[in-house]
């Protein structure tokens, strides 16, 4: 009964408050990953972004100004990964914190030997279990400057990863997906990245993917949407797993992008 009521309220809100078409299309042109979406997918993304803006709370840090266009830009980027998953994929968190630029974070982490390291790190984004989602506005605006970079998608991938517990690179998979296939694909790619780095070779994708399995999933998710053909060429098994998980096939182009089951 509660789910039906929630759906009714959302549909009523969408009927009366759908994001203006002109504003939505303006934002789409700023996101390369959205350029191949057909009309049906664009309509679904517009509805999801409308609900995102309704159900999330934006908090600007310091003198940051997050105008309606930037809020919509964040919303559309955030909703692209859940285009075929639905807005409830983000139901475990509410707040979006926006910094004007990269920000310093105090960290404490334990390495494989059990040694605890602490310090300060400069970051473009963060994702916490049950929120918030933290974004650098400057870095979000830089998403179109090079392939495979999208800080909003990166942090939203971490949020999806944490839906079944900690951030470990293994999000809750759909029925019919194989954990063994997922682990095999990502382990091969992760180990290949590490091997290239140890040989002082250039990595085929952003080397930050080799930081941890969680970062591997988040970085590869960025490439899946921002540079899908590149990911498909380098790590086809990873691409296939992400296509199943996100239920999208961006490398196929507008004619075949469709829904993956």
Segment 251-256 mean pLDDT: 65
Look up tokens 């310090």; give the residue.
119
Q: Looking at 126-135, 178-187, 247-256, which range is the least confident one?
A: 247-256
At residue 4 the predicted structure's pLDDT band, cuts being 50, 70 and 90, is confident
Q: Over 50: is that where the pLDDT of 118 sits?
A: yes
At residue 165 the predicted structure's pLDDT band, cuts being 50, 70 and 90, is confident
Architecture per CATH, domain 2-104+119-252, reads as: 3-Layer(aba) Sandwich (3.40)
Segment 40-58 mean pLDDT: 97
Query: What token pair was written down for 68?
Result: 């309606």
Q: Over 60: is that where the pLDDT of 261 sits?
A: no
- Which pLDDT score is estimated for 143? 72
Q: What percent of the chain has pLDDT over 90?
A: 69
Residues 6+ apart with CB under 8 A from 109: 116, 117, 118
* Between 89 and 142, the higher pLDDT residue: 89
32, 33, 35, 40 alpha-carbon torsion, rounded to 10°:
-150
- Which pLDDT score is estimated for 257? 55
- Which pLDDT score is estimated for 107? 56
DSSP letter string over 192-233?
HHHHHHHTTPPPSS-GGGGS-HHHHHHHHHHHHHHSHHHHHH
Query: What token pair was written down for 156?
Result: 């939203």
CA distance 19 to 30: 16
Q: Over 80: is that where the pLDDT of 35 sits?
A: yes
* Between 2 and 198, the higher pLDDT residue: 198
Each residue's pLDDT tens digit, 55-90: 999 999 987 788 999 999 999 999 999 999 999 999
Other residues' Cβ atoms within 10 Å of the Cβ of residue 188? 13
- Which pLDDT score is estimated for 29? 93
Q: Over 70: is that where the pLDDT of 19 sits?
A: yes
Tell me which long-range contacts 167-175 makes (C-beta under 8 A, separation of at least 24).
167/127, 167/129, 167/214, 168/213, 168/214, 169/212, 169/213, 169/214, 169/215, 169/216, 169/217, 170/213, 170/217, 171/217, 171/245, 173/245, 174/244, 174/245, 174/247
Q: Over 90: is that where the pLDDT of 121 sits?
A: no
What's the mean pLDDT when you consider all of the chain? Answer: 88
Cα–Cα distance list, 132 to 30, 33, 122, 175 (Å):
25, 24, 18, 28
At residue 260 the predicted structure's pLDDT band, cuts being 50, 70 and 90, is very low
- Which pLDDT score is estimated for 236? 98
At residue 191 the predicted structure's pLDDT band, cuts being 50, 70 and 90, is very high
Q: 52-66: string of b/e by CB count within 10 Å (b at 16+)? A: bbeebebebeeebeb
* Extents of the domains making up the chain: 2-104+119-252
């Amino acid at each position: 009964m509660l789910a039906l009521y929630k759906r009714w309220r959302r549909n009523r809100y969408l009927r009366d408050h759908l994001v203006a078409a002109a504003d939505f299309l303006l934002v789409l042109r700023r996101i390369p990953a959205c350029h191949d979406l057909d009309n049906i997918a664009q309509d679904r993304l517009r509805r999801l972004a409308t609900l995102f803006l309704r159900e999330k709370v934006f908090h600007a840090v310091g003198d940051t100004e997050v105008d309606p266009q930037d809020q919509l830009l964040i919303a559309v980027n955030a909703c692209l990964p859940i285009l075929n998953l639905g807005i409830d994929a983000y139901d475990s968190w509410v707040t979006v914190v926006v910094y004007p630029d990269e920000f310093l974070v105090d960290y404490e982490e334990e390495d494989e030997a059990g040694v605890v390291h602490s310090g300060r790190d400069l970051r473009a984004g963060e994702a916490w279990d049950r929120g918030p989602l933290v974004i650098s506005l400057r870095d979000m605006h830089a998403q179109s400057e090079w392939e495979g970079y999208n800080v909003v998608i990166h942090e939203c991938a971490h949020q999806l990863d944490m839906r079944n517990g900690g951030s470990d690179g293994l999000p809750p998979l759909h029925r019919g997906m194989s954990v063994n296939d997922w682990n095999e694909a990502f382990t091969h790619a992760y180990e290949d990245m590490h091997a290239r780095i140890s040989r002082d070779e250039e990595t085929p994708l952003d080397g930050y993917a080799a930081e941890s399995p969680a970062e591997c999933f988040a970085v590869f998710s960025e490439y899946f949407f921002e540079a899908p053909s590149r990911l498909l060429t380098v790590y086809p098994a990873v691409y296939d797993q992400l296509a199943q998980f996100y239920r999208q096939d961006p490398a196929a182009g507008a004619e075949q992008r469709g829904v993956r089951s």
